Amino acid sequence: MDHLQTQGINLPRLGLGTFRMQGDACRAAVESALALGYRHIDTAEMYGNEDAIGAALAASKLARTDLHITTKVWNENLAPDAIRKALDVSLKKLRLDQVDLYLVHWPARNMNLPAMFETLMKLKDDGRTRAIGVANFNIALLKTVVEQIKAPIACNQVEYHVFLDQTPLRNYLAAKSIPLVAYCPLAQGRAASDETLIKIGRKHGATAAQVALKWLLDQDDVVAIPKASRPESQKANLEALHVGLDDEDRAAIAALPKNKRFVNPGFAPEWD
Ligand SMILES: NC(=O)c1ccc[n+]([C@@H]2O[C@H](COP(=O)([O-])OP(=O)(O)OC[C@H]3O[C@@H](n4cnc5c(N)ncnc54)[C@H](OP(=O)(O)O)[C@@H]3O)[C@@H](O)[C@H]2O)c1
């Protein structure tokens, strides 16, 4: 598995998303993913599944140092005390002393960015998380965090897939050497039935979903976290790393509509 080095952590470039997975089904999906070779699991306090993931991690025989676990603080908990409490609860549910990456899940209109990042950096210094980062931050917010507060963020996790252009955001992140973690990398499953991707896949003995993932993973500094509950899909998504796309494929993907956003962070008048 390829990794990206960012702020002292080794981030596996393909992870398992777990939104809308809960209880025993979530535990089974995470156990299956770990058995197949996934080492990066993406969760959040808001997903209500950290306990199921904790059970799966505890049942695995894997060394903690071989695993990358990301969780996120919800935007109602962005006051310093609330962040600290939220991480305590997440760690307890995950049955861990430390997560690898702790993200601000979603900006809030009334958030106090300096106070938030001071708290997050303290949690990092205290070893409760190995690195900190953000999700759903636009360029304006990133500029404040990176250039004014100078917080050492290890990623920005945002929606990114074959149907959504993220060029301005990618360019900003690349200039600051911050990886982009692509959520909804399969456009919530829609990529699997796209005719253009199916056609490209046929050429390479691959599926449309694999083509969509490989298109993301061929881009430097991009990590993808597809959610898949079925072991067959989990395996297929891992194998997407071996698909080889050519210039003709990339041109066909570039011609797909690029304005389809399926999750709207809706916190700012313009998303750039
Ligand atoms: N930070 C944020 O605000 C934020 C927002 C949204 C998502 N996320 C994270 O990103 C992860 C991924 O996003 P997502 O779950 O919304 O969407 P996604 O990963 O783009 O798509 C998931 C859908 O694709 C299907 N699928 C997976 N592999 C497939 C394959 N090989 N062939 C065909 N279909 C396949 C899944 O089916 P099955 O489940 O039936 O297998 C599921 O219905 C989330 O789970 C979450 O961890 C973060």
- Are 260 and 187 within 8 A, CB to CB? yes
d(CA 195, CA 201): 10
- Pocket of ligand 1 contains residue 225 by CB under 6 Å: yes
* Side-chain half-sphere CA neighbours of 173 within 13 A: 29
- Atom 27 of ligand 1 has which residue's CA nearest to it? 228
d(CA 64, CA 61): 9
- Are 134 and 73 within 8 A, CB to CB? no
187 C-alpha to center of ligand 1: Å? Answer: 7
pLDDT single digits (tens) 209-268? 999 999 999 999 999 999 999 999 999 999 999 999 999 999 999 999 999 999 987 655
Residues designated catalytic? 47
pLDDT of residue 267: 57
**How many other C-beta atoms can be found within 10 angstroms of the C-beta atom of residue 60?**
16
- Pocket of ligand 1 contains residue 187 by CB under 6 Å: yes
What residues of the chain score a pLDDT lower than 70? 266-272
Residue 195 identity (one-letter amino acid): E
Q: What is the pTM of this model?
A: 0.98
pLDDT single digits (tens) 85-99? 999 999 999 999 999
pLDDT of residue 54: 98
pLDDT of residue 177: 98
pLDDT of residue 132: 98
Candidate of 53, 134, 186 to mutate for ligand 1, largest count of ligand atoms within 8 Å of Cβ: 186
- Atom 31 of ligand 1 has which residue's CA nearest to it? 233
d(CA 106, CA 74): 7
